[in-house]
Chain A
Amino acid sequence: MSRLLGLTGIIAAVSGIALGLETSRMPMIVAGGVVAVVLGFAPGLDRRIRTAGAVLLALMALYLRYTGHSATPYPAVDWIRPRGMDVWPGLLQASGMLLLLVASPAVLLGAGGRWLRTCACAGALLVIAYWFFPQHFVIDELGAAVEGRATMPVVEEGRIVSRSWGRAGVPGTPIAMLPQVLDNEARLAAIAHGMGHEAARLAGETAGGTLRATLWGAQRALTVVVLLAGVLSMAVAALVVLGLLWRRRMPRAARVGAQAVLVVALVGPPVANLSLRIAGLAGGLSEAQDAPLFSLMLSGGMLGCVLVAWAAGQVMIPQEGGEE
Chain B
Amino acid sequence: MPVLFLLAALSLGCGGTADTEVTAPASEPAQAGAPDLGLLLVAGLRTDSQGTDGAEAAFRSGLPQPRVVFEQFYSQSPAPFSSVGSILTGRYPGAIPLCNRLLSGEHKKTEAQQAWCARIPEGVHTVAGVLGLYGYRSLLVSANFPGADALASGFTDHRAVQGWTQVQAAVDSWWAANPDGPRLVVVVLGDGADTVLGESSLKRFPEHRLQWLETVTPDVARVEVDPQEVRKAYTAGAAQAASVFSGVARRIRSHATRPSWVVVGSTSGMSLDERTGFGDAPVPLLTDNILLDRTIRVPLAIIGPEAAPQVVSTPAQGIDIMPTLAALAGAVVPAGAAGVDLLAPPQPAQVAYSEFGDMIALRQGDHLLVFRCSLHNSTALDPTVTEQLLAPLKTVPVGHYALYNIRLDPMQEKNLRHLDLERVAAMRARMVAIRTGAAAVPEGAITPKRLWALRMAPSEGYW
User: Which A residues form the contact surface with B (CB < 8 A)?
Assistant: 23-25, 67-73, 78, 80-82, 84-88, 136, 138, 149-153, 165-171, 191-192, 195, 198-199, 291, 294
Instruction: Report the number of A-B residue pairs with Cβ-Cβ less than 8 Å.
Output: 102
**Complex interface bits, B155-194 against A, C-beta within 8 A gives 1, otherwise 0:** 0000000000000000000000000000000000000000
Given A82-B377, A166-B384, CB of A198 within 8 Å of CB of B448: yes
Given A24-B108, A82-B377, A85-B376, CB of A71 within 8 Å of CB of B446: no
Give chain A residues whose Cβ lies under 8 Å from the Cβ of B209. 88
A75 CB to nearest chain B CB (Å): 14
Can you name the residue of chain B whose Cβ is closest to the Cβ of A170? B374
Of B106, B113, B373, the residue contacting A23 (CB under 8 A) is B106
Give chain A residues whose Cβ lies under 8 Å from the Cβ of B456. 71-73, 78, 81
B449: interface (CB < 8 Å): yes
A190 CB to nearest chain B CB (Å): 12
Q: Is the CB of B451 within 8 A of A150?
A: yes
Given A73-B456, A169-B376, CB of A152 within 8 Å of CB of B451: yes
B429 CB to nearest chain A CB (Å): 19
Q: Is the CB of B377 within 8 A of A86?
A: yes
A146 CB to nearest chain B CB (Å): 9
**Complex interface bits, B186-212 against A, C-beta within 8 A gives 1, otherwise 0:** 000000000000000000000001101
Q: Is the CB of A138 within 8 A of B376?
A: yes
B320: interface (CB < 8 Å): no
24 contacts between A and B (CB under 8 A): A23-B108, A68-B106, A70-B105, A70-B458, A73-B449, A80-B458, A81-B458, A82-B377, A88-B209, A88-B213, A88-B460, A136-B374, A150-B384, A151-B448, A166-B384, A168-B374, A168-B375, A168-B388, A169-B373, A169-B374, A169-B375, A191-B452, A195-B452, A291-B109
Q: Is the CB of B377 within 8 A of A24?
A: no
Give chain B residues whose Cβ lies under 8 Å from the Cβ of A86. 212, 376-377, 460
Q: Is the CB of A71 within 8 A of B453?
A: yes
Q: Is the CB of A87 within 8 A of B460?
A: yes
Give chain A residues whose Cβ lies under 8 Å from the Cβ of B452. 71, 73, 152, 191-192, 195
Give chain A residues whose Cβ lies under 8 Å from the Cβ of B107. 24
Query: Which 9 pairs between the two chains have the least Cβ-Cβ distance?
Result: A169-B374, A71-B456, A150-B383, A167-B384, A70-B109, A68-B106, A69-B458, A152-B448, A85-B376
Q: Is the CB of B458 within 8 A of A85?
A: no
Given A24-B108, A138-B376, CB of A195 within 8 Å of CB of B458: no
Give chain B residues whose Cβ lies under 8 Å from the Cβ of A165. 451
Give chain B residues whose Cβ lies under 8 Å from the Cβ of A169. 358, 373-376
Can you name the residue of chain B whose Cβ is closest to the Cβ of A134? B216
Q: How far is the CA of A166 from the CA of B106 in the complex (A)?
A: 27
Q: How far is the CA of A57 from the CA of B108 in the complex (A)?
A: 24
Give chain A residues whose Cβ lies under 8 Å from the Cβ of B383. 149-150
Q: How far is the CA of A151 from the CA of B458 in the complex (A)?
A: 22
Q: How far is the CA of A175 from the CA of B107 in the complex (A)?
A: 32
Q: Is the CB of A71 within 8 A of B210?
A: no
Q: How large is the interface on B (under 10, 10 to 19, 20 to 34, 35 or more residues)?
A: 35 or more
Give chain B residues whose Cβ lies under 8 Å from the Cβ of A80. 458
User: Which B residues form the contact surface with A (CB < 8 A)?
Assistant: 104-110, 113, 209-210, 212-213, 358, 373-378, 382-384, 387-388, 446, 448-449, 451-453, 455-458, 460
Q: Is the CB of B375 within 8 A of A70?
A: no
Give chain B residues whose Cβ lies under 8 Å from the Cβ of A87. 104, 458, 460
Q: How far is the CA of A80 from the CA of B231 in the complex (A)?
A: 39
B264 CB to nearest chain A CB (Å): 36
Give chain B residues whose Cβ lies under 8 Å from the Cβ of A198. 448
A224 CB to nearest chain B CB (Å): 19
Can you name the residue of chain B whose Cβ is closest to the Cβ of A151? B448
Q: How far is the CA of A289 from the CA of B122 in the complex (A)?
A: 30
Give chain B residues whose Cβ lies under 8 Å from the Cβ of A136. 374, 376
Given A71-B110, A169-B374, CB of A88 within 8 Å of CB of B448: no
A291 CB to nearest chain B CB (Å): 8
Q: Is the CB of A71 within 8 A of B457?
A: yes
B336 CB to nearest chain A CB (Å): 20
Q: How far is the CA of A81 from the CA of B377 in the complex (A)?
A: 11
A72 CB to nearest chain B CB (Å): 7
Give chain A residues whose Cβ lies under 8 Å from the Cβ of B106. 23-25, 68-70, 294
Q: How far is the CA of A142 from the CA of B375 in the complex (A)?
A: 16
Of B104, B105, B373, B387, the residue contacting A149 (CB under 8 A) is B387
Q: Give the interface centre of A69, A151, A169, A198 by most chain B CB atoms within 10 Å.
A: A169
Q: How far is the CA of A316 from the CA of B105 in the complex (A)?
A: 34
B54 CB to nearest chain A CB (Å): 35
Q: How far is the CA of A150 from the CA of B444 in the complex (A)?
A: 10
Give chain A residues whose Cβ lies under 8 Å from the Cβ of B113. 70-71
Give chain A residues whose Cβ lies under 8 Å from the Cβ of B455. 167
Q: Is the CB of B382 within 8 A of A167?
A: yes
Q: How far is the CA of A129 from the CA of B328 in the complex (A)?
A: 60
Q: How far is the CA of A274 from the CA of B376 in the complex (A)?
A: 30
**6 more A-B residue pairs beyond the given contacts A70-B105, A85-B377, with a C-beta to C-beta distance below 8 A:** A69-B105, A71-B452, A81-B458, A152-B452, A171-B374, A195-B448
Can you name the residue of chain B whose Cβ is closest to the Cβ of A297? B106
B184 CB to nearest chain A CB (Å): 34
Q: Is the CB of B109 within 8 A of A294?
A: yes
Q: How far is the CA of A195 from the CA of B110 in the complex (A)?
A: 19
A185 CB to nearest chain B CB (Å): 13
Q: How far is the CA of A263 from the CA of B460 in the complex (A)?
A: 27
Give chain B residues whose Cβ lies under 8 Å from the Cβ of A168. 373-375, 384, 388
Q: How far is the CA of A87 from the CA of B378 in the complex (A)?
A: 13
Give chain B residues whose Cβ lies under 8 Å from the Cβ of A73. 449, 452-453, 456
